[in-house]
C-alpha cells in the first residue's frame, strides 16, 4: 500500500497530524504562491490546524500549527495577494 495519497503534516513543534480525511474549513490557494496562501483544517480527531506560506513561491503552504477551535472558526488571514 502506498502513502502517496496521504496528507500528513508536521507542525512547527514537530507533531505529525494526518489530514488525509480532514476537512478544509477555509483557504486561499491562489497562484502564484506567497504569504496570501493559508488553509484552516479540522482533523478527524478534532484537532484544528492552520497552514500558512512564509513567502516561498514553490509551495502553497510550508508552515503548520495547531490552533484552538475558536481561533480556527474566527480566523482572518492578514495577507492578500498583490498582483
What angle is formed at CA 72 by the lines to CA 35 and CA 26, rounded to 5 degrees?
Answer: 60
Label residue 5 by pLDDT band (50, 70, 90): confident
The pLDDT assigned to 43 comes to 97
Q: Model confidence over 31-41: pLDDT tens digits?
A: 999 999 999 99
Residue with cell 503552504: 61
Task: Tell which wins on pLDDT, 3 or 46.
Answer: 46
All residues at 6 or more sequence positions from 69 whose CB lies less than 8 Å from its CB, including other chains: 46, 48
Amino acid at each position: 500500500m502506498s502513502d502517496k495519497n496521504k496528507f500528513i503534516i508536521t507542525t512547527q513543534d514537530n507533531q505529525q497530524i494526518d489530514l488525509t480525511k480532514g476537512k478544509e474549513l477555509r483557504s486561499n490557494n491562489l497562484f502564484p504562491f506567497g504569504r496570501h496562501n493559508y488553509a484552516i483544517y479540522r482533523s478527524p480527531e478534532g484537532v484544528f490546524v492552520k497552514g500558512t506560506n512564509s513567502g516561498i513561491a514553490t509551495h502553497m503552504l510550508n508552515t503548520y500549527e495547531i490552533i484552538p477551535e475558536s481561533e480556527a472558526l474566527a480566523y482572518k488571514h492578514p495577507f492578500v495577494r498583490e498582483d
